[in-house]
A and B are shown apart, each in its own frame.
Chain A
Amino acid sequence: MKARFLIPLGLFLALAGLFWFVLNQMNRGDYNPRELPSALIDKPAPTFSLPNLHQPDQTIGTPNFLGQVSLFNVWASWCVSCRVEHPFFMELARRNEVPIYGLNYKDERADALRWLDQLGNPYVASAFDFEGRVGIDWGVYGVPETFVVDKAGKIRMRFPGPVTEAIWNRKFAPLIAQLRSEQG
């Protein structure tokens, strides 16, 4: 074993390679060490009935999702990352890509309405979850989170963190195309 002294170098290179790979994955948004798999994948979206953010006397609930592939986006006016993803949701709404429903999570109604007034409203409708109980039912552990709900009202994907164009193209768009082709 003449080359024994090379073992530490080899170990170092292997570790450096691993770190580089993982950091690269994190930068591209493919890997998030804090990401949790949703316990609700392929399960029916939890039913709820909440006041509409804009019209408190009307309610929004799970029936609103049925029959179409839709996004359910958890947002709040106090959430910084929501501001990051918001322009992209506006873009999606402009392109008429997919109906986006919002869950306004643990927010003040006035703040939420002002936020939408100032930045624009990409949502078909937002449900007002002041106490965060619907959030718990959906397994929400941070804001923003985005769910993809299929025609039958099943959750097919959950993405925690801000949705960007790159993530959309890689993760959302192919799934949504596939779900649209499924029998409803």
Chain B
Amino acid sequence: MLHHDLPIPGTVLFDGTQAIKGYALNKMCYSFNKKANRDEFLADEEAYMEKYGLNEQQKQAIRAKVVLDMLEAGGNIYYLAKFAGIFGLNVQDVGAQQTGMSVEEFKEKLLRAGD
């Protein structure tokens, strides 16, 4: 196996397989570009997820707001970021959650990368 064919640690490339798996979830998150849709989601999250046809795995990940589970369910980070935005979470919050760090620890890790 060539070096570039080896899996990349902690990384899943969002390819056709993921795109098929996550289509409903990503479509829902894409809809959050519009404020009216964000408001509709917040008013009744279950009804909104049903409207976009999320499967149980995707619904559970959204209910629990666990980003790694959303990725596992086929989510793409660019669309998921719009979901996170509804709750005022930025990419440091999301990064901290995925790596099991506190947000302060995660920010410290980023700063240290410059050393």
> Do A and B share a complex?
no
Q: Which residues of A contact B (CB under 8 A)?
A: none
